[in-house]
Structure 1
Amino acid sequence: MSANENPKAVAELLWGLRKSRSRGPRPAFDVAQVADTAVKVADTEGLEVVSMQRVAAELGLTKMALYRYVNGKAELIAVMIEAAVGTPPDLSGVTGWRAKLEEYARQLSAAWRRHPWLTSITVGDRVMGPRETGWPESALSALADTSLTERERLDAVMLVSSHIRATHAAATPGTQTWTGGSAASIMRDLLRLNADRFPLLAAVEATPSATTTQEFGLRAILDGLEHTISQRGDDE
């Protein structure tokens, strides 16, 4: 179930627009505690284990009591994301747009390493909370003084973010090819045995890399942006 099942309700919850319930006993917890509990379950046992029933049990509540905090699984996922993404990076102390985007990418990668399940549920048409929205806002600030247009700056941020997402998704169980994961050694052996059919892939496997896929891709993206920005400057 995605976090966009009822986007208006999700927005009201994440952005503090929902009216609090005045009837009934005072809640023993708050939404932040519910979210943190769900995040811990996902981190230790996997996202597939997270359910209203399981989170309620962790809090010592009944499943029906949990509905006082979130209206269902979609809202539970939404508050989990908002809790797990962490505080947006402060890039004000970093000099230069490239160094700022490198720091943004580093912190984004660190957040997804802490919570590998984030890559699979932070996609598609959905409402983001203020904390998560702060991440692209911070990255956009890195490009504020460049010659890129406002739309191009957002495209650049999405390009960097998508690259970091893709490299993390490739390292998630069930998504690997011959480059990593439980089947990696089998695929390497198969490529060696079939080097005549797949000579280029076999050569890649036989050659150690000095950089990771994430490092190489990020450098290539930033090199392209640097060329575009400097070219715009020359044209002015």
Structure 2
Amino acid sequence: MDFLWQESAGGRRGPKKALSLDAIADAAIVIADAEGLAAVSMQRVAAEVGFTKMALYRYLPGKSELVAVMLERGMGVPPEMSAGDWRAALTRWSESLISVFVAHPWAIEASAGNRPIGPNELTWMEAALAVLPEGLSGAERMDAVAVIAGQVRALVVQPSESGLLTAITEHAARFPAISAAIADIAVHGGHDQAFHFGLERILDGLEALITQRV
């Protein structure tokens, strides 16, 4: 994990070259944004930055480490938040996180599973934990952030509304409950609010739990 935490973006050995870890990651991000994570390879990135594949190995052991650096660069740092209104702060945190995943859809895959974690990702977690009010145990605070982050991830990967409408229009009789819900939306509105609806319910639950302990 040293490559994620080093102060300098230089290579691990040999003479200094006109290349940096950030430049490598940025080139890989451009590829992934356009074509997906599967299109990223050490060979492809080397060609993009104008160096040989072997030159990249002086900076990174392989693709998994490259993806970790890409995620660090892609996530950046969370927004400034005030702990005065913890619900507003966590809403801003969530909106900023979903913006990251919308801008870099590959980050969903890159942030899953057992992998190296860098300072930017931990800074996001630190920021969310720091604004939670008193009344939750350490485990509950960590779980609360995980649930909120899960809400963000779930909404990013859900099927598009246009695809749902196309499918249900052709098969309305087979799915009467879905058809009824969509018909109600057509009359009363309120569609495309799943992200904030779910987030508000999570925050309501946390507030109720905290209040009953005071």
Q: TM-score, normalised by structure 2?
A: 0.90
Distance in 2 between residues matched to 1:89 and 1:231, nearest whole Å: 30
Q: CA deviation at 1:44?
A: 2.2
Q: CA deviation at 1:22?
A: 4.2
SS in 2 for 1:128: coil
Which digits, 9 at most, give the CA deviation of each residue in 1:115-169, with x for residues without a partner? Answer: 11111221112221001110011000011x3211121111111110100011001
8 Å contact from structure 1 (residues 101, 139) kept in 2: yes
Distance in 2 between residues matched to 1:20 and 1:55, nearest whole Å: 16
Distance in 1 between residues matched to 2:169 and 2:184, nearest whole Å: 14
SS in 2 for 1:89: coil
Q: CA deviation at 1:95?
A: 2.5
Q: How many residues align?
A: 209
8 Å contact from structure 1 (residues 100, 142) kept in 2: yes
Q: CA deviation at 1:188?
A: 1.8
Which digits, 9 at most, give the CA deviation of each residue in 1:77-122, with x for residues without a partner? Answer: 1100010001122213x53111111111111111111111111221
Partner of 2:91: 102
8 Å contact from structure 1 (residues 85, 111) kept in 2: yes
Distance in 2 between residues matched to 1:28 and 1:54, nearest whole Å: 18
Distance in 2 between residues matched to 1:169 and 1:199, nearest whole Å: 24
Partner of 1:231: 212
Q: 1:207 to 1:191 in 2, by over 3 A?
A: farther
8 Å contact from structure 2 (residues 42, 63) kept in 1: yes
Partner of 2:197: 216
Write the letter of the residue equivalent to 2:184. T
Q: CA deviation at 1:45?
A: 2.5
Q: CA deviation at 1:17?
A: 8.6
Partner of 2:181: 204
* 1:150 and 2:150 correspond: no
| 5+ long unaligned stretches in structure 2 | none
Distance in 2 between residues matched to 1:61 and 1:20, nearest whole Å: 13
Partner of 1:126: 115
Q: 1:201 to 1:30 in 2, by over 3 A?
A: same
Partner of 2:64: 74
Distance in 2 between residues matched to 1:13 and 1:20, nearest whole Å: 9
Distance in 2 between residues matched to 1:160 and 1:202, nearest whole Å: 29
Distance in 2 between residues matched to 1:28 and 1:85, nearest whole Å: 25
Distance in 1 between residues matched to 2:165 and 2:141, nearest whole Å: 40
Which digits, 9 at most, give the CA deviation of each residue in 1:47-103, with x for residues without a partner? Answer: 2211111110000111122111111111111100010001122213x5311111111
Moved more, 119-128 or 160-169: 119-128
SS in 2 for 1:207: helix
- Structure with more of its chain in helix, by fraction: 2
Q: 1:56 to 1:22 in 2, by over 3 A?
A: closer
* 1:187 and 2:187 correspond: no
8 Å contact from structure 1 (residues 191, 202) kept in 2: no
Distance in 1 between residues matched to 2:92 and 2:100, nearest whole Å: 12
Q: TM-score, normalised by structure 1?
A: 0.82
8 Å contact from structure 1 (residues 82, 131) kept in 2: yes
| 5+ long unaligned stretches in structure 1 | 1-10, 171-175
Distance in 2 between residues matched to 1:99 and 1:231, nearest whole Å: 21
Write the letter of the residue equivalent to 2:29. V
